[in-house]
Amino acid sequence: MLKNVFYDGLGLNAWLFQAVNGIRHPLWDGLMRAVSGSADYRLIPLLLALLAAGALVARRRVAGPVAQDLTLAARQLLLGFVLAALAVGLLKAGIALPRPSMMLPPDALHLLEPPESPYSFPSGHAASAALLAGWLWGWAPPAWRPLLLVWATLAAVSRLSLGVHFPADVVAGAALGGACAWLARRLLAPRAAAR
């Protein structure tokens, strides 16, 4: 009963999934694949390596705040990534809710990407996108913030479109990733002037 109310939403979860997953066009499918790929959590270690390299170069060539900002940004992202990875991994294994392809008949969905694991809740890609958007929120110019929201939203929608997650999965993943970004920024805020 609890699963029906909190996860299935008394049918709303599956209905919304099928509504989004039913939108098909080659350009839309290509966009969804690209946005989903850009939100892949496996790209975060590469971004961390680039930030660390940038901080090292800045320390050698430029004295002062540039190197400090890059180091702080890398630390915040690393902490947020570790927190999100642990939370997503523990929830996926602990709750063990199946993917849409395991719950719906084959003719009721379009599966454009093979699932990485049998477990669906929460979405790691949605968590990754929200983590990155939340982390960048304080570092990016204010004019870019709406773009971060659009990108994170499209990343969440892409997981439905590709057929690998239900709406509840991406909402939970986005909330989790955003919370981890917020917590990392709070815990590692600069002492003198919080951003």
DSSP reduced 3-state for 177? helix
User: What would the pLDDT profile of 21-30 be if each residue is shown by its tens digit?
Assistant: 888 899 999 9
Q: Which helix (H) or strand (E) holds 71?
A: helix 65-95
Q: What pLDDT, on a 0 to 100 scale, did the predictor assign at position 12?
A: 80
- 3 state DSSP class of 63: coil
Domain boundaries, the chain: 24-187
pTM, 2 dp: 0.85
| Res. 59: pLDDT tops 50 | yes
Question: How many Cβ atoms are within 10 Å of 146's Cβ, its own excluded?
Answer: 9
**DSSP run (H or E) holding 52:** helix 44-61
SS3 121: coil
* Average pLDDT over the chain, rounded to an integer: 86
**pLDDT number for residue 3:** 56
The angle subtended at Cα 52 by Cα 48 and Cα 54, nearest 5°, is 115
